[in-house]
Structure 1
Amino acid sequence: MIKITSIIIAEDDADDRLLIEDALNENAISSDDLVFVEDGEELLDKLKDNVNAPSMVFLDLNMPKKDGRQALKEIKEDDRFKHIPVIVFSTSNSADDIITSYKNGVNTYFTKPSKYSDLLEIIKSVKSYWWEKARLA
């Protein structure tokens, strides 16, 4: 089981939050401090209030209040947070969203799959790269 400082998951859909949490657990990623937020404003508030930066942020683009596009831009423009890996996990497969996300500093972009088995594979690849190869956390 891999221990992580914390992962912030910015996702407004309760079902998607549960699926992501289950997929993390099934891939043996345990977090002492798994934090869910429902919009970009709450995400930025959580980052500012957190004494220790999270190991990673999973970010949905389409959220109420401040969307993920704006939150990503603000995270990557802030010296306190720009080092945090951000993985966009969105229903959008728009080329504009993908290109803009990379221009704004996203580390990885995934379109949400329709099958849970595909979600497990995505989390497995995130784990393989970020925690086993890149030595995150």
Structure 2
Amino acid sequence: MTRKYKSPSLTVDGIVEIDGKIVLITRKNEPYKDFWAFPGGFVDYGESTECAVLRELFEETNLKTKIKGLLGVYSDPNRDPRGHTVSVVYVLEYIDGLLKSGDDAKEAGLFKIEDIKQLNLAFDHKRIFEDYLKKYK
């Protein structure tokens, strides 16, 4: 079936808190190369957003996680300079693994909430972080 209209791309992002600190990665590629961001990425065709966020988190951070809840859906057409993306953002619980960067992540780190407030985050991740604080802190 051929579509005659354009659709946004579907992405996921995950927020993981470990011992009061939040996991962030630096992006290896443009857009926002070298900016800190929540781990995440594109949903593969045939993949659920739930499976995608667990896969992306593991690929970028080496952490095994499980979903605690849905933070929200972020759909501003201008959130990604590559084109219209819609991100489903989950709050995840750490299960196992040693934090290290992989795949599209240049670095991976744990940050205190106060320190994240001072960072310039990629995409609309500052807004996502603020929503996380309102809902979970």
Q: Give the shorter-chain TM-score range.
A: under 0.3
| Structure with the greater alpha carbon radius of gyration | 2
More strand by share: 2
TM-score (norm 1): 0.27
TM-score, normalization by structure 2 = 0.27
